[in-house]
Chains A and B, each alone.
Chain A
Amino acid sequence: MLYLLIIGFIASFSAAFIYKPFKNYFGWIAASFPLFMFLSFISRYQQVANGEIIKEYYEWIPSLGINLTFILDGLSLTFVLIITLIGVVVFLYAGAYMKDYEHTDRFFVYIGIFMTSMLGLVISDNMITLFVFWELTSISSFMLIGFNHHKESSRKSALQALLVTGSGGLALLAGFIFLYLITGSFEISSLYDKHSEIIKSGFYSSAVILILLGAFTKSAQFPFHFWLPNAMEAPTPVSAYLHSATMVKAGIYLIARLNHALGGTELWQGTILIFGTITMLIAAALAIKQTDLKRLLAYSTLSVLGTLTLLIGIGSQLAIKAFFIYLVAHSLYKGTLFLVAGTLDHSTGTRDVHNLGGLKKIMPVTMATALLASSSMMGIIPLIGFIGKETVYSAILEIEYWGIFLIIIAVISNALIVMVTILVGLKPFFGKLTSTPVAPHEAHIKMLFGPAILAILGLLMGIFPNAIIGKLLEQSTISILTEELGIKIKLWHGFNLVLLLSFITLGLGILFYVLRNKFFSTIQNVRMIKILKPSEWYEYLLIFLMWFAKLQTRILQNGYLRNYIIFILITAIGLASLSLIKAITTLNINFIPDITFYEIAILSMMVGATFVVITSDSRLKSIVAIGVVGFTMGIIFIIYSAPDLALTTFAIETLTVILFVLVLYKLPKYLQFSNVIVKLRDVIISAAVGIFMSTVVLYVTSLSMQSDLKTYFAEKSLPEGKGRNIVNVILVDFRAIDTLGEITVLAIAAIGVYALLKLKLDDKGE
């Protein structure tokens, strides 16, 4: 499977080169890519259906437990097939839809990368690999939402999606690391038999909360739902693909995937159930106000995502069955309807439902497709959506006590979805023909073919559910619950309470539609209090971040070299002296007054020069005095027989004095700025540094140092390093990597100095 992913990434990038020459039929070429993936994976179908779990293993960083492990079981294969199948349709569709856009080649690169990363995400068994693909989908989603980058709203929405899903991704990574701390393994499949160990661990609740944060942001659960409707700024194929059928389901996939390892506790089931329910209801309710086709669909997608989350939260066998059917059904009809919305936009020039109507004669194929998909979405027999909704209801009814409340919420939410469906899937085609910005026309075959296939597939699955998805359902359930299900999918369950609920839903949906039309102007004026909206929290957070960034830049990066030095020194001493005080238990000062004349002479020169530095009233004098300090230091090196160090010190000091003198020319006239307080502060800081350094030296020398390094280098220098100068052999041979790093840093520093000197600060104060 690794080679498929590699092919995928190569193919995605190659789109940049082959788009231009084959512009007119690129849709077909592009569609062959997901089709190839689809066929490659479906060839494993039989194996998976027989209960086999296909695994692949490649080493990446084995010492950290990070490897490229891939797993293909029922759950993975289901997602893989959804991703690739809808991929075929969307790629083909995009070939026609994106033709008039600028940089369509880039579009195909991004969406190809997205598809490959999404595939990698659902077949990864290693959590770190999964995380890498997870972030890759976030990044490609960012690129695609911001595809119309000349529009500010596009850029803003793209950033919002990236920040929300990206910060969730970080939480997810932390959660994974907690799991690793508990179990010592990053492999998801190795967690199967560690369930009891995990839920007993003290890290359990932190791990669950962090992982759920990641999943909820990705799958746009309340209160992170706001990024998804805004992501509708993306071109329609992207909305159909990423933001309804695949990427937003990654979070739900993760919850399902980890259910066997983390589930079964009140924290896990309860949190998922509650957030799923809230999302389901609130998103459906928010849809009422929308008039844009895509935003309407986005809110209904949110509601469905909530339902799916809720189903895992219930966690019963029936609920998982419902989860699976609803997942497949939703991907099929929602993908279709998004594409239909795109077609309508493309042929009429508007996406406002109020401006659309009576298109059935002009766009018959689109209408037929929309009708099929809408019936599935509304849960009309005999489509897959019907089975989906039936099983959802029966799963909810199974719950004791709370079931009755949940079912009311579910019916209301679904009725609102029915309302959305009527608005999006039916209204544009019936009634009076309205005038639109562009004279409407039926779309190109490339834009009709794919959605029609998806819609028909929804019908076929409804009629023959067992033949098409029965086996996958069986295997997926094993992946999620680790137990076999033994329930068959049926279209018709007879007249029962659930069927009645379905009818109530439909009736209520139509009622909502009528009511919405009547009171639309009133609804439009209803405004949510700002402070209650999660999107506002996001804005506030962003403003706060900017403010904080500016504040700390003003304090820390204020442009005064002296302040930088003060900050660095104080921080260093503050942090290090704590551990120094702890480390020092006994301080043996072996002061042996065995000082030679030279030493006394040099030391007094040094001290004298230092006094000149701090008392002089001319910069030149200070610099020369600093040079004296440096040279005396060199002489000390000579006395203690370190000629290499001495040589280097002399050379450095010489150059430093030259550099100082050069800088001197640029400085303004020497003035006395410091007042007494500032001077006192400087004295305290420098005294602290001096005391600190002296203590360090005294401490280090009082330790008995027993290092084999000295003898090792002395022995090996000549035979292995071919040199008698140990210092130099260490520099260029034994520790050459360090030196390589240092000269690289030096080179970068030189470029930095050059840039600073050549930079003309035209806009001062910025």
Chain B
Amino acid sequence: MFSIILSTASKYLLPLLLIFSFFLLLRGHNEPGGGFVGGLVAAAAYALYFIANGVYEAEKLFKAEPIKIISIGLTFALISVVPSIVSGQTFMKGFWLDTNIPVIGKIGTPLLFDLGVYFVVLGIALKIIFSLAEEEK
């Protein structure tokens, strides 16, 4: 069932929701939010687009294969471990660069790790949604 209103709205809502999800990810360290919720919201944004426009449109828009997003996320999470191993500190000890960049805030390995979580969660949710949706056709 195609709804022109939903379809049009979703086109504008998608970028907004994605920005919101990224905002959740970034603010997570100080305020409620974080990679997990961020990833879920991003997935929900694509889910909305898929409901409005169908799975093929959504996949076309998403471009990447969700499995790859998952592996990218895991890779980020693993890379964030490397500095702690190389420097011989406790495993997964956080490292921070004290550059107070506006908007993003402090940059450090925990942020990279959170970004990894974000991508993994997004990838998993989309993988499941897409494969369930494809099957029905």
Contact = CB atoms under 8 A, between A and B. Distances in A.
B71 to A, nearest CB: 8
Nearest to B115: A732
Interface string A709-727: 0000000000011111101
A739 B132 contact: no
B77 interface: yes
Contact of A732 (B34, B91, B129, B135): B34
A750 B29 contact: no
B67 A737 contact: no
Highest count of chain B CB atoms <10 Å: which of A727, A732, A733, A749:
A732
Highest count of chain B CB atoms <10 Å: which of A733, A736, A749:
A736
Contact of A728 (B33, B51, B129): B33
Nearest to B50: A658
Contact of A644 (B34, B66, B91): B34
B44 interface: yes
Contacts of A727: 32, 34
A740 B124 contact: no
Given A746-B121, A753-B127, A648 B36 contact: yes
Contacts of B91: 737
B79 to A, nearest CB: 12
Interface string B27-68: 011111111110011011001000100000000000000110
A468 interface: no
B18 interface: no
A402 interface: no
Highest count of chain A CB atoms <10 Å: which of B33, B125, B132:
B132
Contact of B128 (A654, A721, A723, A750): A750
B125 to A, nearest CB: 6
Highest count of chain B CB atoms <10 Å: which of A651, A666, A737:
A651
Interface string B52-96: 000000000000001100110110011001000000000110101
A237 to B, nearest CB: 45
Contacts of A747: 70-71, 73-74, 120, 123-124
B66 to A, nearest CB: 8
B106 interface: yes
Contacts of A750: 66-67, 70, 123-124, 127-128
B41 A723 contact: no
B92 A737 contact: yes
B55 to A, nearest CB: 10
B15 interface: no
B19 interface: no
Contacts of B9: none
A644 B29 CA distance: 11
Nearest to B24: A647
A729 B66 CA distance: 27
A736 B47 CA distance: 29
B133 interface: yes
A724 B34 CA distance: 12
Contacts of B135: 666, 757
A758 interface: yes
B22 interface: no
B131 A725 contact: no
B74 A743 contact: yes
Contact of B124 (A663, A737, A749, A757): A749
A740 B74 CA distance: 8
Contacts, number: 139
A731 interface: yes
A405 interface: no
A652 B129 contact: no
A725 B37 contact: no
A757 B41 CA distance: 24
Nearest to A755: B131
B124 A729 contact: no
A643 interface: yes
A729 B35 CA distance: 11
Contacts of B78: 740
Given A732-B117, A743-B116, A724 B37 contact: no
A227 B92 CA distance: 50
A655 B132 contact: no
Contacts of B133: 662
Interface in A735-766: 736-737, 739-740, 743-744, 746-747, 749-751, 753-754, 757-758
B77 to A, nearest CB: 6
Contacts of B32: 643-644, 647, 725, 727
Contacts of B113: 732, 736, 739-740
B110 A753 contact: no
Contacts of A758: 131
A729 B29 contact: yes
Contacts of A697: none
Given A739-B113, A739-B117, A662 B77 contact: no
Given A647-B33, A654-B44, A659 B129 contact: yes
A112 B117 CA distance: 45
Contacts of A751: 67
B132 A651 contact: no
A658 B29 contact: no
B136 A740 contact: no
Given A658-B47, A724-B31, A644 B37 contact: yes
Contacts of B29: 722-725, 728-729, 732
Contact of B37 (A651, A722, A723): A651
Interface string A262-299: 00000000000000000000000000000000000000
Contact of B108 (A659, A722, A740): A722
Given A648-B40, A725-B29, A744-B74, A733 B94 contact: yes
A324 B3 CA distance: 91
A665 interface: yes
Contacts of B40: 648, 651-652, 655
Highest count of chain B CB atoms <10 Å: which of A647, A751, A757:
A647
Interface of A: 643-644, 647-648, 651-652, 654-655, 658-659, 662-663, 665-666, 720-725, 727-729, 731-733, 736-737, 739-740, 743-744, 746-747, 749-751, 753-754, 757-758
21 contacts: A643-B32, A648-B36, A648-B40, A655-B44, A655-B47, A658-B47, A662-B136, A724-B30, A725-B30, A725-B31, A731-B34, A732-B29, A732-B34, A732-B35, A732-B114, A740-B113, A746-B120, A746-B121, A754-B67, A754-B127, A754-B128
Instruction: State the 10 A-B residue pairs at the shortest beta-carbon distance, nearest first.
Output: A651-B40, A723-B29, A643-B32, A750-B124, A662-B132, A724-B30, A732-B110, A728-B34, A743-B120, A736-B92
Given A644-B32, A659-B128, 13 more contacts: A643-B32, A644-B37, A647-B32, A648-B37, A663-B132, A722-B106, A725-B32, A732-B34, A736-B92, A739-B117, A740-B92, A743-B77, A750-B127
